[in-house]
Amino acid sequence: MKHFMLLLFLFGISLPAFSQDEKKHPLLTDNFFLEAGVFIPAKNIKLGADGDFPDDDFDFGEEFDLNDNQATAFVNLEWRWNKKWRLTVETFSLNNAAKATLDSTLVFDDVTFEKGSNVRGGFDFALYRVFVGRTISSGQKHSLGVGLGVHALNVGAFIEGEIKSSNPDLDGEFQKRRVSALIPLPNIGGWYHWAPNEKWGFIARVDWFGISIDQYSGGLWNFAPGMRYQIGKNFGLGIDYRILLINAKVSQPNWEGKFNMDFSGPAVTFHGNF
């Protein structure tokens, strides 16, 4: 019995010492985390540009065959100015354009492009995400936090081409219409980091918005699960699967309409930490 109690005593002393010596993954400790990578999303783009807000938006992705995966660069910077608080800034952009013969009549920004019109159309999209978060739980292998942020969306779309019209005065006339808007969408969000050892780390992040403000109303979901592998002390590699779902109504002088945009696909990252 004495020997058993002695073993328990020694084990109780040695276990904390072992945990304290175990190294944490940089995800849980370093003050700066800079990521650069390639995002390869599939896209679903639907837009409307008139004052009536039709039930069926014009499907840019299907009509102009823009839904194929497209590689784009992105950058993400995280700064932890103390143990509890952090600032995250992220950006990426996409643009596509193609020619098509319209399968149905389209009214876009008060111009009617009738079925059979030969047109060129496209969109451009840029996202700027700023997020301030606070850690609410942390340990040797995990970090959990919540915060507030904003997704600033720069969205634009255009259609141009010769109109096919029953009106002889308009038939064959070249028209171009473009709409654009810079839309700030505030959001709440959270993250969870789990690192079983100093080499492997797993992350999950979610942002949400669903209210009406001023000239905008709509919703946003942003999911980003992924994993990180630490190659050296100050650099490593990672892979994510990102899902961004956005819908909004816009009421501005240069765009009276609405849009639905979905982006989803893998992202390969390279990071530096210190």
Q: Are 121 and 63 in contact (CB under 8 A)?
A: yes
Question: What number of other Cβ atoms are within 10 A of residue 255's Cβ?
Answer: 22
Q: Output the pLDDT for position 18.
A: 35
Comparing 110 with 1, the larger pLDDT belongs to: 110
Q: Which of 153-162, 223-232, 251-260 has the highest mean pLDDT?
A: 223-232
Comparing 114 with 242, the larger pLDDT belongs to: 242
Phi, psi of 140 (to 5 degrees): -60, -30
**Closest among 44, 49, 14 to 179, alpha carbons compared:** 49
Residues 99-105 have a mean pLDDT of 83
Q: Which of 103-107, 143-147, 256-260 has the highest mean pLDDT?
A: 143-147
pLDDT tens-digit map of 209-224: 876 766 777 888 999 9
Q: Domain 22-273 class?
A: mainly beta
Q: Output the pLDDT for position 256.
A: 80
Give strand pairing partners of 41: none
Q: Is the pLDDT of residue 112 over 60?
A: yes
For the chain, the domains span 22-273
Residue 14 binned pLDDT confidence (cut-offs 50, 70, 90): very low
Q: Which residue has the tokens 């473009």?
A: 178
Long-range contacts of 100-109 (CB under 8 A, 24+ apart): 100/63, 100/64, 100/65, 102/63, 103/63, 106/58, 106/159, 107/50, 107/54, 108/49, 108/50, 108/58, 108/159, 108/177, 109/49, 109/50, 109/177, 109/178, 109/179, 109/257
Mean pLDDT, the chain, integer: 84
Cα 80 to Cα 82: distance, rounded to the nearest angstrom: 5
Q: Output the pLDDT for position 166.
A: 67
